[in-house]
Structure 1
């Protein structure tokens, strides 16, 4: 079914009124079972997207736990027994250079870890909100097509869409702010350990919330499978009922013909 909307103004001075048309919308006409099957496929796709987001969050948590939290000082290397003051001074300078280089390498590595974690948190916040909107769209389609149930809406909205929006709107931005504080602490080398512990704890809260939503998605998939099984049983029952009626009519005709 193709749908388009036209509007005409009240222009009547000369010529014809102005008419504007919208773009054409293509609507698919499907049965209730076909619609449910399509929506369940979208649910599966959204769950797979969120599984990917959860894996990214696990990677972020790993980055945060691997940051060097002890005060960083140039690495001391054991001195060797040498002869000649000039040679000794030269080798000690080399050791100091090596220690300073290692220190700079560690600092740069951890700065990149913090920066990477910050960027990834910002990204998955948007992605999480996108998944939430996807489930909200599914609920709207169910309602618009009058195939929704209170149980299904409760599972989709209260169990998945709303918690995802809370994670994307509040929990991940809070973690982002905590990582920014960690970045400042690391740059100044002040209270790094305390800041890291708080950041990791905040990340654990987010991971736990994500895991709960993911578990509900898996429960919803099982629920949909059970509902589909029941639909199949009802459909088979209706077919059997029709066959029984048909057979009875045939027997009745046979009796009438015999008489």
Structure 2
């Protein structure tokens, strides 16, 4: 999961997420994480907080029938899209603090891409990841760097805050590498390492991205939770309109290009 419950609960949101965000925003990092883990034929792969399942799907592309892949997410709506796109993966509903795994089920590879920052009990989630990993198995976790280091998202947040006051953007709430490494060591992982990875992200169309990002920001605002549907829609439209100046330096034709950075932590069980 990478966006708040307000956005997730909209009937059309998972389809919008899959159509507009997954390819340009999440697939490049999924490929990077799996490159780091060096999948092998026969690997059992667990994708935690899978959303519509891009990590699991890339693993499936690479392993074909020579692997067993499970995706877990708390959102039934996200999983419905995941099942429609790739029925060959075993999709399961559940949360990271209590993974829906039968007793004794373990995996060679566990990945959590941009989900850890949303978990209310991170030590419990890390312990569950460790429990799910075979001895010597490989783990990869990615969490975005703080948005103060990502000018594009920082400036979009500041536009939203003109209407809604301070917003604690959960997407960037676990942005420092040291606490991430400490969490994994405390959970019993070995060979814990992390690095910061930056790359340019390209969106073919900027307008859908802006709407979805604004929905996310509004959903994370305490003030917005008190608004009715009509007023919330008005605020979203106002923020989108005022964000045009932020997009301008990053605009290429009808699309966007901007730098984005993430922590990539790896470890062994």
TM-score, length of structure 2 as denominator length: 0.24
Give the number of the structure whose residues are more often strand, by fraction: 2
Larger gyration radius, structure 1 or structure 2: 1
